[in-house]
Amino acid sequence: MAATETKDRLHGTLDALVLKTLSWGPRHGYAIARWLEDTTRNAIQVEEGSLYPALYRMERKGWIEAEWGMSELGRKAKFYKLTQRGRQQLKAESAEWAEFARAVSTVLAPSS
């Protein structure tokens, strides 16, 4: 799959993917991107130009909170964590995604 095709598909699901990543615990931006890459065997690669605006937007909506801390490399980094509102949003987005995936699978399934 071409990188632009992956980006287009990712755009609509980035919030859910980030929220899910943070459901495992607080992470800084680079660690979020790395976790998604590692978990999907590089099928999903999130660029800074997409990730940070999404993080700021989710913070404004109250889905995540941020605080400064030290990274594994001893550098100052902003760590993001899921809020209760974020957990509710993740649950809602996961349900919507599951329904959408079922619908697409129904259409794409070979006819008998």
pLDDT above 90 for 81 = yes
Supply the pTM of this predicted model: 0.84
CATH architecture of 3-108: Orthogonal Bundle (1.10)
**Half-sphere exposure of residue 88, counting CA atoms within 13 Å on the CB side?**
6
Query: Which amino acid, one-letter code, is at 21?
Result: T
The pLDDT assigned to 1 comes to: 45
Sheet holding 64-70, edge to edge: 27-28, 76-82, 64-70
Digit-coded pLDDT (tens) for 16-35: 999 999 999 999 999 999 99
Q: pLDDT for 90-111, tens place per residue?
A: 999 999 999 988 999 999 998 7
Instruction: Check residues 11 and 101 and name the one with the higher pLDDT.
Output: 101
